[in-house]
Chains A and B, each alone.
Chain A
């Protein structure tokens, strides 16, 4: 399951990155907080495929499908 599949109001831990993600961007996502082991919650998932909002610690980022699909998360979803 990828970050994009996370439902609004649930969280999951980052597992790994899909191998096609460029390494420089992998580093950046890690630095923003999207790195393996981190708990991410999806705070808003609008319809029509608009970018979703993800919370990492005390910051919120908006990611579109092209990148959120490259981040694999554990399937043990939990209510945030």
Chain B
């Protein structure tokens, strides 16, 4: 087995290239510093060759802790006899920056005797703007093969693979006649090479600047930021709604066909309550996860995220964070796990730690089913301004803003009172180019994420649902939920949740949702299924409406779910990233107490207002 390393400066397209070569699905986004772990995969074309996708680095002389890990791993790999070649990916539209790093890699490969190939990526962008670079000239100047590729369209990849496997000539250190101080010689050389062989003119950078002048404008910038964020939330509702309705009616349709075929009794009850009631209630929300991932992915690909980080920098600084915290926080809107990984792009250790505090409070997509359910039950589906703004979308926006505000409140409080790790890295962020999102990888990513959601959460939900159903159905065959085993246990926990107007069924659903939030919907669906008997297959939201749950309790539930840290995976990943159980334990306990107190307060206030 031979192995090839893919290395290069951040955002040069290594991961997209890696995905192309291996058929895998690593995260790709138009923002520097996305890849944080080394990933490996077999080549599709040459299964005996393996590729390793490295995190991007600006330099082999490192300053931030994360980069150091990647660079150390690179040096270690250079000494590994299994590594047969190195591919250094440079962004041809920003050749100079890529070459500064590539020159360092040339020297390292010369020292450790590894063959090296330079891949000048983004060939499609050059072509599109009628630009070109002098590949042969650069090749000659550097004394190593240079291949023009496009990881997006796939051109040049065959040639690259061929060289990665067959090119065995070792590079020698690059020398030029530039004499300068040690620090800047590398830089001067790169500049000279880029000037001589790179694409001419500053067409690309000028058009980028024109867009920046709009998106970062003092007024239009802030305004467009708000509009984009608002559209993001509105899209979750309006785009996904027809699909969700479709899923719901096809489930009902299936239930109506299948249930009459089953013999009366336990089996038919189980199918109706646990399968259609419990798991079906959760499946309805998968389209929303899909849309959310898609829209966040579009933002990530467009290059807008880096601008949003710049816009948010000043306001976030008030809360002890930095503009770079915006990206992990936005990723957490899809799921806290990638958000925690993305926090590695926050280079200051103190700010990263503060970002970790905010992440569990970001409204993640596992909360979405719970929010949607409660909003559907309590907020009318009518529109304002001729359908432009829907009440339900507005309510969703409100609860999302609430979660984000809670997160900021916590970081502000902690950063004022806790002075640990005061030394800080300053804010320097490279502005990636603007690009039209490419649809295929985005759709693929949204699809795989939804699938992952269904299979992974689905397993937990299935197990919990079965257990809940058994406990709720026996010993009296579903005749009376209150007298079942579960009902008796429920009496014990009811006092815990009655302060905010919830009966034991909701209590059980909340407790089970500590495994994963979306379990709430499945549990509740099962319980209402048993209680309702088989004659009425109605949606869970209607069940809730019919049960006469006070509106204050609905709001209390919303508040509880937006604060409580009910996610085992978040705790585990936080442990891995921080190296101890300390932070996850502290967060779990304090956010549970905070959630409980806030839910109680909400119930009292809303009930008082609602009379």
Q: Contacts A31-B58, A50-B311, A51-B313 given; indicate if A61 touches B212 (C-beta within 8 A).
A: no
Residues of A within 8 A of B216 (CB): 44, 46, 50, 53
Would you call A29 an interface residue if the criterion is a C-beta within 8 Å of the partner chain's C-beta atoms? yes
Would you call B459 an interface residue if the criterion is a C-beta within 8 Å of the partner chain's C-beta atoms? no
Q: Are B183 and A64 in contact (CB under 8 A)?
A: no
Considering only CB atoms, which chain A residue lies closest to B212 in the complex? Answer: A44
Q: Are A27 and B310 in contact (CB under 8 A)?
A: no
Write the nearest CB–CB distance from A61 to chain B, whole angstroms. Answer: 5
Q: Are A44 and B427 in contact (CB under 8 A)?
A: no
Write the nearest CB–CB distance from A55 to chain B, whole angstroms. Answer: 7
Residues of B within 8 A of A37 (CB): 184
Write the nearest CB–CB distance from A52 to chain B, whole angstroms. Answer: 9
Q: Among residues 52 to 66 in chain B, which have CB atoms less than 8 Å away from a CB atom of chain A? A: 58-59, 61, 63
Would you call A43 an interface residue if the criterion is a C-beta within 8 Å of the partner chain's C-beta atoms? yes
Q: Are B428 and A32 in contact (CB under 8 A)?
A: yes
Total residues of chain B contacting the partner, CB 8 A? 42
Total residues of chain A contacting the partner, CB 8 A? 33
Q: Are B208 and A31 in contact (CB under 8 A)?
A: no
Q: Are A50 and B314 in contact (CB under 8 A)?
A: yes
Contact of B94 among A29, A58, A66, A70 (CB under 8 A): A58
Chain A 48-80 near chain B by CB (<8 Å), digits 1 or 0: 111101010111111110110010000000000
Q: Is the interface of B mostly helix, strand, loop or mixed?
A: helix
Contact of A28 among B59, B93, B96 (CB under 8 A): B59
Residues of B within 8 A of A67 (CB): 426-428
Q: Are A58 and B426 in contact (CB under 8 A)?
A: no
Chain B 134-152 near chain A by CB (<8 Å), digits 1 or 0: 0000000000000000000
Residues of B within 8 A of A57 (CB): 96-97, 191, 194
Docked Cα-Cα span, A27 to B205, in Å, equals 25
Chain B 407-446 near chain A by CB (<8 Å), digits 1 or 0: 0000000000000000001111111000000000000000
Would you call B202 an interface residue if the criterion is a C-beta within 8 Å of the partner chain's C-beta atoms? yes
Residues of A within 8 A of B309 (CB): 62
Would you call B26 an interface residue if the criterion is a C-beta within 8 Å of the partner chain's C-beta atoms? no
Docked Cα-Cα span, A50 to B212, in Å, equals 13
Q: Contacts A48-B218, A50-B314, A64-B426 given; indicate if A58 touches B96 (C-beta within 8 A).
A: yes
Q: Among residues 252 to 267 in chain B, which have CB atoms less than 8 Å away from a CB atom of chain A? A: none
Residues of B within 8 A of A27 (CB): 59, 61, 63, 183
- Beyond A32-B428, A43-B212, A61-B431, 8 extra complex contacts between A and B, CB < 8 Å: A37-B184, A44-B212, A48-B218, A50-B218, A57-B194, A61-B430, A64-B323, A70-B426
Binding site for B on A (CB under 8 A): 24-25, 27-33, 35-37, 43-44, 46-51, 53, 55, 57-64, 66-67, 70
What are 14 A-B pairs with beta-carbon distances under 8 A? Answer: A27-B59, A28-B58, A33-B96, A44-B212, A44-B213, A46-B217, A48-B314, A49-B314, A50-B313, A51-B314, A59-B431, A62-B313, A62-B430, A67-B427
The 7 closest A-B pairs by CB, nearest first: A67-B426, A64-B427, A24-B63, A60-B431, A47-B218, A62-B429, A46-B218
